[in-house]
Structure 1
Amino acid sequence: MKVVLPVSQLSLFFIFLLLILMPMVTYAEPLISEVRIGLLGHDVDGLWSGSRYEKGTDFNAELVFSPSWPLWGGQVRPNFGITINDSGDTSKVYGGGLWEYSWNNGFFVVIGGGLAVHNGETDDANKINKKQLGSPVLFRVSFETGFTMAKRHRLSVMFDHVSNGYLADPNDGLDTLGIRYGILF
């Protein structure tokens, strides 16, 4: 399977990534705080998007970076990830920030936001079995909850939604839902 993003989309994504990563070079702590991998249901029906056109399973990998900022009892950290669909439907790369709150008993909750660049359809009425996402760059929101075991290993359920936020037409949106394993450094 080959995931190809047009050069203009990649340029926008790398500029966005550079803006996120540039402030991190001044920190003395390790760059990566956590690595997360998972299997996600692709274009899950009945969630935020409301309709299902695409199929398959998504393989997800995400880096959570070390610099953190306290906010509302939790920590805010930058993240970068990739989701690849095994059926040739929409795949994406994304980046942004995560707010995480952890309880002493090991449970945690994560809320994220940022941007995603995808290789799916934007507006092609001839592709009836594909999401029409309206824009090559999308907003991404995520929610994750899980449990930390042995202080380093995590198991969680993660949901994410990407869409253009009605800034373009059409705006089908795309939801994924699945499980992830994380390891803290």
Structure 2
Amino acid sequence: MHDITAEIVTIGDEILYGQITDTNSQWLSEQLDLLGIKVKRKISVGDEMQELLQILRESESRVDLILLTGGLGPTSDDITKPALCQYFGCGLKTDEKVLDHITGFFVRRNRPMLEANKKQAEIPTISEALFNRLGTAPGIWIERKGKIFISLPGVPYEMKEILTTGALPRLKTFFQTPIIYHKMVRT
């Protein structure tokens, strides 16, 4: 059995410009370590399509699990879904369960739902939605040639919820992982 390896990619200009602190990759690293998955690299990329595509190519060639956070929102600079579609050569489909959830989200708050919000129910045709009960952007699960790509919202509490309730249980059954023990020796 070989070590299961992962790379974590945080997406957004706001991370590179220092406008927000990346706490997602630290938490994700802890969770993967508990599962026995070795994180080999963490990288942050801005809202640049070609940069993200290059990182996807590199990561797929290096590791078993590629975990992305950020870029799933309703604004024009949210490039993760278009990048995944371009990378995998597929289009988008509307996930009706996600659309129903988003519609209810706005109805409960007595707010109008914009077309941009409806687009959040779109996921790559080759993917499955990971349900987000706390927000409007679903996570995305893609399997290809024994590799897993998981894309999660950048909002930390949404990312944690989706990973904990949707992605981690699936990862446990997909990968047979050893327990990783760490010891600190002080001399």
TM-score range, shorter chain: under 0.3
Kindly indicate which of the two structures has a greater share of residues assigned to strand.
1
TM-score normalised by structure 1 residue count: 0.26
Bigger helix fraction: 2
TM-score by length of structure 2 reads: 0.25
